[in-house]
Structure 1
Amino acid sequence: MTRSVYVTGIDRGDGRQVIELGVMELLTRHVDRVGVFRPLLHADGGPDRLFDLLRARYRLSQPAETVYGITYTEAAALQAEKGTDELVSQLVERFHRVAREYEFVLVLGTDFAGTNLPAEINLNARLANEFGASVIPVVGGQNQDADSVRAEVHNAYAAYYALGCDITAMVVNRIAPADREAVAGPLSAKLPVPCYTLPEDGSLSAPTVQQIVHTLGAEVLLGDAAGLARDARDFVFGGAMLPTFLNALTDGCMVITPGDRADLIIGALAAHSASAPPIAGVLLTLDERPGPDIMALASRLAPGTPVVSVPGQSFPTAGELFRLEGKLNAASPRKAETALGLFERHVDTAALTRSISLARSSRVTPMMFEHDLIERSRAQRRRVVLPEGTEERVLRAADVLLRRDVCDLTLLGEEDVIRKRAAELGVQLGDAHLIDPQTSPLRERFAEIYAQARAHKGVGYELAYDVVADVSYFGTLMVQEGLADGMVSGAVHSTAATIRPAFEIIKTAPGAQIVSSVFFMCLADRVLVYGDCAVNPDPDAEQLADIAIQSAATAAQFGVEPRIAMLSYSTGTSGSGADVDKVRKATEIIRERRPDLAVEGPIQYDAAVDSSVAATKLPDSEVAGQATVLVFPDLNTGNNTYKAVQRSAGAVAVGPVLQGLRKPVNDLSRGALVQDIVNTVSITAIQAQTIPATNQEATA
């Protein structure tokens, strides 16, 4: 039977979309096929921003027309003409059309905004009961004191309980941060179900520049897509002289000034260029436009920063701006990351998962695997150093990691350059630690360490002083010295530039003969581990056995039960030759060294993963047909195979993940996407969880 959870409220303005997004995140971690149902929608024909976000973020294939029941207007007319029973009956029928197609359904309750429905709480409760859904009521705490919020929560619980609902948890959202503890403690003590309390986060309610442009009908004079996606976290109105005006600027503010104040326009953009402070953009009023010389200077000062124009005066424009509030939608993915970070920091997701009875699916989809990486890396927080601190993809990945509270980050590079680039991209670096290897006091300490470690190669202090200023060497030494738990690089550096310092400084782990790599190949319904596809060109039998044992350990660390297939062009005893003999010998070595591991080899790829082929070629094997760790005989075979599967089968390839080092360092493909970097940093943080966390603070 399809299960469902119904997220509802008691009034408008509760920011319930944050909770709905967070619950969807939990569902997709555990369930392969999740549906969405919104019983009632408004008839204005506007887009359903939340569903568009869910569809884009979670790759939902559900047709939009199946998501909705009927409009509020139709519901009010039907209820007035034929009664509530008929209304509920029709909505139940539409719900079951969705439920038949999915394992779990997230139901989005009514929004209490101009619905013209009497007793709306009663209707939500009735629908939840008829759907067989557990209920999560959300109470908004914005602009209320602690006593009022506690009273509303108790009343909401009593109302839904009296109406027969199976209440999973209560949620208080948008409460003043200072009041959170005064609300959370008493409610947790007195309510019979968990109560989670989320503070107001100003970045969620801040409109984007694009939203301002759309609402005001503004004309964009300058600015790119990244600039228009920035949050306007404050509004500063220009009227004073330039020195006073500059002192009034705040981080992420939108400057509103008459279009003839060229001094304020250039001053604001110059401040942004110097990150003193970075602004969201400039809004010109009175339909005045600066001349071409001023606009040309503006574009050079702060490329990508929006400058937009409206015909109205500053005062009525201000009235419209102060009524604007940010929205979660597919066009603002950073807000979604912030919302999820907020939800996951203040909700016991493991307990909520148990409460809504989510059993993990036997299938593991790419999204489930990626979700699991985030969840596990957050569980034991570690610090990861990113040497390529000025690279756009790295900065965007850092933004995601920090918003999701995945790990602590150190970015290397000139601090002013990093901050300026982040400001141009609209990226918030939050608590990220920025270090410039060229000027850091650590450089002298690292030079001494490196010179001592490489003295046998004739490296003296002067040469070491130059070497350790390289970001890859500096980052590696941070890991070696316990100032970071792991390192991820390679977005713009070669594999050799990334891993050579690790070979020289960190060296191999006890028991590991060589450093090797694996890719996690996320297929539609399972995760396979491929090794070695990135490091060792032609390993001998001993090295191949070591790669297989390391790969099995890595697989187990990330929740993949290791069943090792030692791949060859021959299965069993059907072939001979030097290449087959190498694989056969490697298999024997594994069985001698690790008799606890399930291993088969030599074996062909089809016999390793296809049970019907395995039944013919190796019917008595415990690995054939169900292998999870596939070890290739050489780099040529492995690298080509992983890329063929990635491109032809649509698999998500996560890696390469290095193994065999004493501390985790991982390489990126130079074509890595932002999500690839997020995944690799998460993996690095998880690898570091087997090593004691850093207990030193790096000094910039």
Structure 2
Amino acid sequence: MNTLPRHRTFYLVPVSRDAGLTSVTLGLVRALHLTGLRVGFVKPIVQPEVRAGDLDLAAHFARTLCGASAPDPISIDHAAEMVRSGQLGGLMEEVVSMVDTVQADCDVVIVEGLIPNVEFQIATRLNIEIVRSLGADLIPVLAGGAHSPATLAAKAAAAAEQYGDDGRRPIAGLLINRCADAAAASALSALGALTLKGSATPVPILAAVPNAPHLLAPRMIDIADDLGMSILNRGDIESSRVQTVVVAARSAEKLLGDLRPGTLVVTPADRSDAILATALVAQRGMPLAGFVFTCGGRPAPEVAAALAAAPLDRLALLCTEDDTFVTASKLANLSAHVNRADADRMERVISFIAERVDTAPLVHRLNLPVDGLMPPPVFRHRLVARARAASRRIVLPEGEEPRTIRAAAICAEKRIARCILLGAPDRIREVAAAHGIDLPDDVEIVDAEQQRARYVDPLVELRKSKGLTKLQAEIALEDSVVLGTMMLAQNEVDGLVSGAIHTTASTVRPALQLIKTAPGSSIVSSVFFMLMPDQVLVYGDCAINPDPTADELAEIAIQSADSAAAFGIEPRVAMISYSTGASGAGEDVDKVRRATDKVRALRPDLIVDGPIQYDAATVESVGRQKAPGGPLDGRANVFIFPDLNTGNTTYKAVQRSANVVSVGPMLQGLRKPVNDLSRGALVDDIVYTIALTAIQAAAGDAGGGKLAAAAE
């Protein structure tokens, strides 16, 4: 077991109000997670702008997107009253208690400071007192803009002078956000450090982040809420993003030339020509954000009727009493803040910043080894890195589905895999254009209709033992999943991902029939990767085998352990039962006992224990009581369930009750990798499943005991 690192606390203090403090803070939390550290987050006191009863945005997103331990902040009213009544020391004790609670389970704690403004002038004083009370290392957060390095160094030094006793509080580094452009950010990053007045050594630049207009796109619902507009039609108001605003001040012909995906059209309601011309563009597939009708007007009845018909009924329609000029001005000056309901945008902001953070100076300050836990961000990060190294061809049978097309484009852009979209080429390109997706040349499009005939004879040959006829094969190949599976069976691709619009059975059945088991495997099984708040657990088998024998259960355990190792999880295998050790008897528990013995005999290198109850496998104190001297020590991360009833029930119970994201099922033991998606899968889910499949393919044996070699 790794020695726990010495706790370290970093306090992020804004040097200017427009530095984007929360975004930068959470980007740092994510970046540190990706190093394998256990990161806690504390926003000690709520900003005054937060309404009473609401959770501070920083704490909210730290919990929901970063998986960080984040207590509720102290209310501003309580803090102000404590200061007014001379109880500043008591307030600091409350803050220290919050941090200590988080610190107990973390290697490093990131504390977000307070942003001073005219109504909150006490913020600077509170920042200083909190930094001193915590003994935290300081990280000034600056707005880069077009400032020179010398100007930024002077600003950071001036801010740092306010902290510390006689000398300065240790400055761990500088975070510079909102640089004028990518060139300015790159120039700062190239410097590596800035020399501050009075500082003995240069202070490292932890990140220089450029302005990113594409991350500022609000949703239509945010515009309606922020500007108090009436909603005439909701449509896709919760998901439509405004990339650009166009005012219908010119002719309809000139207006059409300005339309792009994500355009919000601002127009008086009596401009029926402009409205109908724009609607025609949307009807032909361009995903516009919607309309804002000004001056309190409503479209003419015939125009309203046209907008109410599919697919135009998906457009969000807003109305404001303001005139067009005032409306355009308000939109131009709209706050860049992220609405608490807009988790997708905040996730993209956090990822954008995290990718640009150099964590090395902070990790060096810890001066202790990293704990072996794998948080979900680390899991996802390693998936992408290993898939990129594998460079495999993955077929996507649902090639005309928008999420799948976008995922393929992302995989090409990030070099995660070489994706093949299966479908009608014209339709695929039409869907891509309608959704504003730029398909890179690296994404291969295969015409399913033209390819089916050449797989008829191979399919008949593969299924001849079942008496499959040529006509039956032709009918079967009308199913794009069957066609894609045949491409995989013929070694023309390396893996298959499906399920965005197909059932699990539709994805898995062709694989079981046509791919079959890998050499050395007698069974096909599955695992789910359970993305718990602080680590990733592996559950198997929760999808394939109803009631495995002891020998089959042992093979499932070995397959699952190898899968865990392939994805960077050092397997500690728990063979789950309703009793622990020798405390129970009966065929069910005996089966688990025999399976455990066989795993130990076949793979003495694995850490495995069983039969063992779930609590004894996961809680150290319970494990010491129920399984004293056992190898798991309450830290199991691979859980093998005795049957499908137990496994599937447990997986769904944990997923729903703990609001846990799961990736899978990933099939094990097949000659070639096939993986299923949820029909509600997000684009990111598809991207990570493609990455997972590419890693399996790189092993040359999708779960046949050799998958761990892919991790080397």
1:238-260 Cα offsets, whole Å, 9 max, x none, are 13332322111122121011101
**Change in 2 beyond 3 A, CA 1:18/1:63:** closer
Determine the structure 1 residue equivalent to 2:710: none
Match of 1:264 among 264, 274, 284: 274
CA–CA distance in 1 between the matches of 2:189 and 2:244? 29
Tell me the residue number matched to 1:183. 188
| Paired residues for 1:437-586 under 5 Å | 440-441=446-447, 444=450, 448=454, 451-452=457-458, 455-457=461-463, 470-473=479-482, 475-476=484-485, 486-503=495-512, 506-520=515-529, 529-558=538-567, 559-565=569-575, 567=577, 575=585, 586=595
Following the alignment from structure 1 to structure 2, what is the Cα–Cα distance between the partners of residues 675 and 350? 27
What are the equivalent positions in structure 2 for 1:655-674 lying under 5 Å apart? 655-668=664-677
1:38 aligned to which of 31, 45, 53: 45
CA offset at residue 525 of structure 1? 7.8
Equivalent pair of 1:448/1:464 in contact (CA under 8 Å) = no
Question: Match of 1:167?
Answer: 171
> Which residue matches 1:371?
377
Q: Which amino acid aligns with 1:309?
A: C
Q: Deviation string for 1:396-450 (max 9, x for gaps)?
A: 99599889979567766668878998999xx87566899897xx34765676467
Aligned to 2:74: 66
Per-residue CA deviation, residues 207-255 of structure 1 (Å, 9 max, x unaligned), is: 332232234322111123x424432221111133323221111221210
Q: CA deviation at 1:45?
A: 6.2
Q: Does 1:219 align with 2:226?
A: no
CA distance in structure 2 between the partners assigned to 1:7 and 1:404 by the alignment:
33
Q: Counterpart in 2 of 1:108?
A: 112
Query: Secondary structure in 2 aligned to 1:517?
Result: strand
Q: In 1, Cα distance between the equivalents of 2:89 and 2:412?
A: 42
Shift of 1:40: 6.1
Counterpart Cα distance in 2 of 1:406 and 1:123? 46
Partner of 2:17: 12
Equivalent position amino acid for 1:38 in 2: I
SS of the residue corresponding to residue 551 of structure 1 reads helix
Query: How far is 1:262 from its partner?
Result: 1.8
Q: Which residue of 2 aligns with 1:698?
A: none
Say whether the 8 Å CA contact 1:533–1:635 is kept in structure 2. yes
Distance across 1 between alignment mates of 2:281 and 2:572: 55
Q: Could you list the per-position Cα deviations for residues 566-601 of structure 1 after superposition, in whole angstroms to 9, with x for gaps in the alignment?
A: 758896597566x67765654454344323234455
- For residues 486 and 447 of structure 1, the distance between their equivalents in structure 2, rounded to whole angstroms, comes to 21
* Contact 1:67–1:98, Cα closer than 8 Å, also in 2: no
In the alignment, which residue of structure 2 is the partner of 1:251?
261
Is 2:154 the counterpart of 1:155?
A: yes
Contact 1:490-1:668 at 8 Å conserved across structures: yes
Task: Note closer, same or farther for the CA distance 1:9–1:686 as it changes in structure 2 (3 Å cut).
Answer: farther
Distance in 1 of aligned mates of 2:596 and 2:117? 66
Contact in 2 for aligned 1:223/1:304 (Cα 8 Å): yes
Provide the identity percentage: 34
Work out the CA distance in 2 between the residues paired with 1:298 and 1:318: 22
Letter of the 2:461 partner, please give it: A
Q: 1:499 deviation in Å?
A: 2.0
Quote how far apart the aligned CAs of 1:294 are: 1.9
**Separation in 1, partners of 2:474, 2:411:** 32
SS of the residue corresponding to residue 193 of structure 1 reads strand
Please give the alpha-carbon distance, in whole angstroms, between the structure 2 residues aligned to 1:251 and 1:7.
Answer: 37
Equivalent position amino acid for 1:101 in 2: T
Offset from partner CA, 1:605-663 (integer Å, 9 cap, x none): 67767888878987665469765544344434433454456567887655323222344
Preserved contact between residue 256 and residue 284 of structure 1 (Cα < 8 Å) = yes
The answer on whether the counterparts of 1:39 and 1:70 sit within 8 Å (CA) in structure 2 is no
> 1:389-400 residue pairs with structure 2 within 5 A?
none
Residue in 1 that maps onto 2:3 = none
Does residue 200 of structure 1 match 2:199?
no
Aligned 1:354-369 pairs, distance under 5 A: 354-355=364-365, 369=375
**CA distance change for structure 1 residues 433 and 108 in 2, over 3 Å: closer, same or farther?**
farther
Query: Runs of 5+ in structure 1 lacking a partner?
Result: 693-700
Structure 1 window deviating more from structure 2 (534-543 vs 460-469): it is 460-469
**Aligned amino acid, residue 118 of structure 2:** G
| Cα distance in 2, alignment partners of residues 581 and 123 from structure 1 | 62
Cα distance in 2 for partners of 1:217, 1:488 equals: 44
Q: Indicate the SS of the match to 1:328.
A: coil
2:352 aligned counterpart, secondary structure? helix
Q: Paired residue for 1:279?
A: 288
What is the CA-CA distance between 1:543 and the residue it aligns to?
A: 2.9
Q: Distance in 1 between matches of 2:687 and 2:230?
A: 35
Give the alignment partner of residue 134 of structure 1, picking from 114, 134, 137. 137
Instruction: Confirm or deny: 8 A CA contact 1:657 1:666 kept in the other structure.
Output: yes
Contact residue 562 and residue 628 of structure 1 kept, 8 A: yes
Task: Using the TM superposition, give the Cα deviation of residue 336 of structure 1 relative to its aligned residue in structure 2, in angstroms.
Answer: 0.7
What does residue 96 of structure 2 align with?
Answer: 96
Distance 2:395 2:499 in 1: 12
Q: Is the 8 A contact 1:14 1:140 kept in 2?
A: yes
The 1:343/1:657 distance shift into structure 2, 3 A limit, reads: same
Secondary structure in 1 matching 2:545: coil
Could you say what the CA RMSD is over the residues aligned between the two structures, in angstroms?
4.8
2:144, 2:644 → 1: CA distance? Answer: 58
Please give the alpha-carbon distance, in whole angstroms, between the structure 1 residues aligned to 2:77 and 2:225: 29
Distance across 2 between alignment mates of 1:617 and 1:17: 45
Mapped contact 1:572–1:603 kept (Cα < 8 A): no
Match of 2:386 among 380, 390, 393: 380
Instruction: Please tell me whether the aligned partners of residues 517 and 658 of structure 1 are also in contact (alpha carbons under 8 angstroms).
Output: yes
Q: Deviations over 1:464-508 (max 9, x none)?
A: 777556342455567678997654433542333212343455544
Residue matched to 2:708: none
Classify 1:516/1:589 alpha carbon distance in 2 versus 1 (closer, same or farther; 3 Å). Answer: same
Distance 1:691 1:59, change over 3 A: same
Higher mean displacement: 648-657 or 149-158: 648-657
If the length of structure 2 is used for normalisation, what is the TM-score? Answer: 0.77
Q: Per-residue deviation at 1:518?
A: 2.2
- Matched-pair contact (CA < 8 Å) for 1:72–1:116: no
* Structure 2 SS opposite 1:102: helix
Check conservation: 1:572, 1:618, Cα contact below 8 A. Answer: no
* Residues 377 and 406, structure 1, Cα contact 8 Å, conserved in 2: no
- Equivalent position amino acid for 2:189 in 1: A
Match of 2:220 in 1: 209
CA drift of 1:339 comes to 0.6
Aligned AA (1:347): V
1:303-353 CA-to-partner distances (Å, cap 9, x unmatched) read 231111112221122111111133123121121111122112211346645
Judge conservation of contact 2:622–2:634 (CA < 8 Å) in 1. yes
Q: Which deviates the most, 158-167 or 336-345?
A: 158-167
- TM-score between the two structures when normalised by the length of structure 1: 0.78
Q: Could you tell me how far apart the structure 1 residues matched to 2:649 and 2:490 are? A: 37
What secondary structure, in the 3-state scheme, does the structure 2 residue paired with 1:110 have? coil
Single out whichever of 487-496 and 457-466 deviates more from structure 2.
Answer: 457-466
